[in-house]
Amino acid sequence: MATAAATSASEAEAEPKAGPTAEGEEDDVKTARTRRKVLSRAVAAATYKAVGPGWDQPEEGVSESDGDEEYAMASSAESSPGEYEWEYDEEEEKNQLEIERLEEQLSINVYDYNCHVDLIRLLRLEGELTKVRVARQKMSEIFPLTEELWLEWLHDEISMALDGLDREHVYDLFEKAVKDYICPNIWLEYGQYSVGGIGQKGGLEKVRSVFERALSSVGLHMTKGLAIWEAYREFESAIVEAARPIAGFLSPFDREQTFDSQLEKVHSLFRRQLAIPLYDMEATFAEYEEWSEDPIPESVIQNYNKALQQLERYKPYEEALLQAEAPRLAEYQAYIDFEMKVGDPARVQLIFERALVENCLVPDLWIRYSQYLDRQLKVKDLVLSVHNRAVRNCPWTVALWSRYLLAMERHGVDHRAISGTFEKALSAGFIQATDYVEIWQAYLDYLRRRVDFKQDSSKELEELRSAFTRALEYLKQEVEERFNESGDPSCMIMQNWARIEARMCNNMQKARELWDSIMTKGNAKYANMWLEYYNLERAHGDTQHCRKALHRAVQCTSDYPEHVCEVLLTMERTEGTLEDWDIAVQKTETRLARVNEQRIKAAEKEAALAQQEEEKVEQRKRARAEKKALKKKKKTRGADKRKAEEDDEKEWGDDEEEQPSKRRKVENSTPPAGEAQDLEAETGLFGKSAPVDVDPPSKQKEKAAALKRDVPKVPHDSSKDSITVFVSNLPYSLGEPDVKLRPLFEACGEVVEIRPIFSNRGDFRGYCYVEFKEEKSALQALELDRKTVEGRPMFVSPCVDKSKNPDFKVFRYSTALEKHKLFVSGLPFSCTKEELEEICKAHGTVKDIRLVTNRAGKPKGLAYVEYENESQASQAVLKMDGMTIKENVIKVAISNPPQRKVPEKPEARKAPGGAMVPRQIYGARGKGRTQLSLLPRALQRPSATVAQAENGPAPQPAVTASAATEAPKMSNADFAKLLLRK
């Protein structure tokens, strides 16, 4: 019966090998044909070299008439010396060079995942079967392989399996594959392949064992578990059908032992499957009704209805997974929360495994899964397997390695295995110096727990001390050389070592030596470090060393000396002599007086800097106010001059040719044609002609100013801030900003109005307000931030009233640590985004690249590169840091920008008595030294206001402007008389 089933299964497996039955199998057939070519040529060449040119016997099982055509071609090639060598084309040579490059790269960095994948692909393409197997083996030892990589490897090995030993090798590969991830397709392939070995000894038990393990692993999978159930059931049904013809000839006892027991196995599979909520359960129930000769028991129907109810509860989560796009992390998180509330360990484990298949590079998911197993299931093999897979998937995450070491210790793993895991962690390539400190601390804690401190000396204690010494050397040499920091500025490892020597080993001399080393590494200025040492001496030392430590602390501490002084006085008050008390009081008072002097000097220096900054701000404000007043004064004086000319026409005569004229600055209109012709004949005071019809250089700006004055001023409406965006950093030469910007913003939604801002002269000031009809359009417009407009990056930000929200800041990019993003500096200014992307994509999937530019759009030699995950980013740091691009050596690091500091508002300057300090007035007119006076010196009048400012409070800008406006006005006649006197 088993033999018949094996024969039918073997025939079923052999059928597809006869030839392709669909277009989708053509590639597999071509690949298999290429592999046969390579093998046949290799076999022919080896046989030719071993036997000689006289060899002409056909291969066993192949006739001369209908033998393998490829084999014959290889034999004929071997029959003539010099003609059997392969002729590589350019593509093969290129592949060989790429293979050598990839092998060299892996010899440098064995944790390059993409390099492993590319090498396997090229070796498989070239037919290097032995090298492919070795490359796959090396990769599987470092990384868990994906479902696609495992299936490809398994199919290649199955196609080359010829005997029982090869089949056992394939079985071993399947066992490794199912441990990496829970993949229903791999389990299905495993079960189907095991069916082919049913004719061997123990083959039937092997098949059933594989299928039972598959059901335990993925049988609860609601969408893909059905295939495993059906494959197992079809296998058992095939045995039933093979035994059915001979069942009638068996005795009742033999029939019960064979046929009936096999029939019960199929019934049991149906009942077990119907008790589990799976998709398409109705079809399975209908199939059971049709297959079963007896009525279905009531208990089976009840379990089936209960499973249907459970299916309805799970359907929303399964449908959310089906509708979402990979990797579906949020949907899996919600599903995990639901399963943990239900509390079925098998289902919780399954949903974690399903989530990890698509999110294997998410460390937080591995941490949550391993934490659940550590606290709930506590099964050794399962827990250690998950921890091992976690560190293989995310080797750059130190928290996973620390948890792995704890789990191994918790479950009694051998010391050598734990030490080997720690050594692997050190070579994992962490991205921060503090990560190495953390993993060393975890390993040292493990070694400390192994020591029996009741003994004076032991092997474990010596190993602990040597580990401490090695840790300090490793941080100083390896870590500090790579990161320019040891990662342990507070010397926590040395502190723990000192505590162990003092408390566990009663070796205060060694502890004091360690604390001396700690203090010499820049920690002597911190009060908390001295107090830690003092507490250790109080607990395990003597009073003399406590007093000595506190006296040194008083002299060295700079952050909180008052605290150290207080501890010293308290100790001397309770334990010291009068002499000790007097010395302590004298030292503390001297030290605190010196500290207070230093603090006063520092405060004065800070106040002076704040005062200088405030004076600069006031100077800028005063300069702007005076410039504005001067413009207003010019405008008023021009109007008064025109009026004075009309009043003095009789004094100077009616003849326009002898009348001195000034070229009028026309702002709102151009002179009429007739008037322009008359002005052509005018001469000035010195007889020079003044043609007015020639356009002045600022005519275009005057026209723009006229247009600006024609536009009515629109007051700011704060109720529209939510539908308005503020656009800045636009080119000042942008003509007609409304027309040029409207198409750009209309792509985000309907634009109500664009309000560009002009200066008094009509110049565009480089910013504007864009008002939309809907709020969502304004939010979408914020995505146009940094878009280039005529060579400059345009800034788009929300419209916020800074007077009401002075602390409002808009910064588009994150300022926190981003482990998947790199900061690249030292780039050549000519480097483009495309060129940088071409370099970066060789180390992983690049999601985004941002070249940092200044406000004019010119590059600053900096860039941010965002990768798909932390692993790719860490690999890129190792490979790209120190790379030369266009003769520039670049620096690459994980993006961790400093915190953005909010500038403090300078307080009003006050004298010690509380009165306001008068501001210093530079120059004779209360202006900056570099400013020019536009009023002739002969017309200057001493101002009482300025004189008062020399000895009293400085005048406000508004008062100065008013005084300048009320200066004596002079007509054209006054100017003429003034000139005639000279």
Q: If you write DSSP's letter for every residue of 875-927 in order, what string do you get?
A: HHHHHHTT-EETTEE-EEEEE-PPPPPPPPPPPPPB-TTSPBPPPP--TTTTS
Q: How far apart are CA 570 and CA 526, in angstroms?
A: 20
Q: How far apart are CA 814 and CA 228, in angstroms?
A: 47
Q: What is the pLDDT of residue 385?
A: 94
Q: How far apart are CA 852 and CA 862, in angstroms?
A: 5
**Per mean pLDDT, which of 210-214, 427-431, 790-794 is the most reliable?**
210-214
Q: How far apart are CA 383 and CA 404, in angstroms?
A: 9
Q: What is the pLDDT of residue 711?
A: 52
Higher pLDDT, 544 or 429: 544
For residue 805, the one-letter residue type is: N
Confidence of residue 346 (pLDDT cuts 50, 70, 90): very high
Q: What is the pLDDT of residue 899?
A: 63
Average pLDDT over residues 703-718: 59
Average pLDDT over residues 15-35: 40
Other CB atoms within 10 Å distance of the CB of residue 318: 16
pTM of the model: 0.60
Q: Residue 925 pLDDT more than 50? A: no
pLDDT tens digits, residue range 304-315?
999 999 999 999
Q: What is the pLDDT of residue 31?
A: 44
**Share of residues in the chain with pLDDT > 90 (%):** 42
pLDDT tens digits, residue range 146-168?
889 999 999 999 988 887 788 89
Report the chain's C-alpha Rg in angstroms.
44
Q: Are strands 884-885 and 792-798 parallel, antiparallel or unpaired?
A: unpaired
Whether residue 273 contacts residue 284, with contact meaning beta carbons closer than 8 Å, is answered with yes
Which letter, b or e, does each residue of 23-54 get, where b requires 16 or more Cβ atoms within 10 Å of its Cβ?
A: eeeeeeeebeeebeebbbbeebbebbeeeeee
Q: Residue 424 pLDDT more than 60? A: yes
Nearest one of 809, 882, 813, 821 to 848, comparing CA atoms: 821
pLDDT tens digits, residue range 600-657?
999 999 999 999 999 999 999 999 998 888 888 877 766 665 555 555 544 444 443 3
Q: Which two tokens stand for residue 636?
A: 């008023």
Confidence of residue 591 (pLDDT cuts 50, 70, 90): very high
734 contacts: CB under 8 Å, gap ≥ 6: 740, 764, 766, 789, 790
Q: What is the pLDDT of residue 791?
A: 81
Q: Residue 938 pLDDT more than 70? A: no
Helix, coil or strand: residue 252: helix
Other CB atoms within 10 Å distance of the CB of residue 319: 11
pLDDT tens digits, residue range 493-507?
999 999 999 999 999
Q: What is the pLDDT of residue 233?
A: 93
Q: How far apart are CA 270 and CA 280, in angstroms?
A: 14
Phi, psi of 224, rounded to the nearest 5 degrees: -115, -10
Distance in Å from the first CA to the final CA of the chain: 136
Q: What is the pLDDT of residue 806?
A: 67
Average pLDDT over residues 84-103: 76
Whether residue 448 contacts residue 464, with contact meaning beta carbons closer than 8 Å, is answered with yes
Higher pLDDT, 79 or 318: 318
Q: What is the pLDDT of residue 740?
A: 84
Residue 683 DSSP label: B
Other CB atoms within 10 Å distance of the CB of residue 6: 22
Nearest one of 446, 463, 396 to 426, comparing CA atoms: 396
Whether residue 721 contacts residue 799, with contact meaning beta carbons closer than 8 Å, is answered with yes
Confidence of residue 699 (pLDDT cuts 50, 70, 90): low
Q: How far apart are CA 41 and CA 508, in angstroms?
A: 75
Confidence of residue 554 (pLDDT cuts 50, 70, 90): very high
Q: What is the pLDDT of residue 469?
A: 96
Measured between alpha carbons, how far is residue 131 from residues 30, 119, 125 in Å? 21, 10, 11
Q: Taking all residues of the chain, what is their mean pLDDT, rounded to a whole number?
A: 78
Q: Ramachandran region of residue 882, left (φ > 0), alpha (ψ -120 to 50) or beta?
A: left
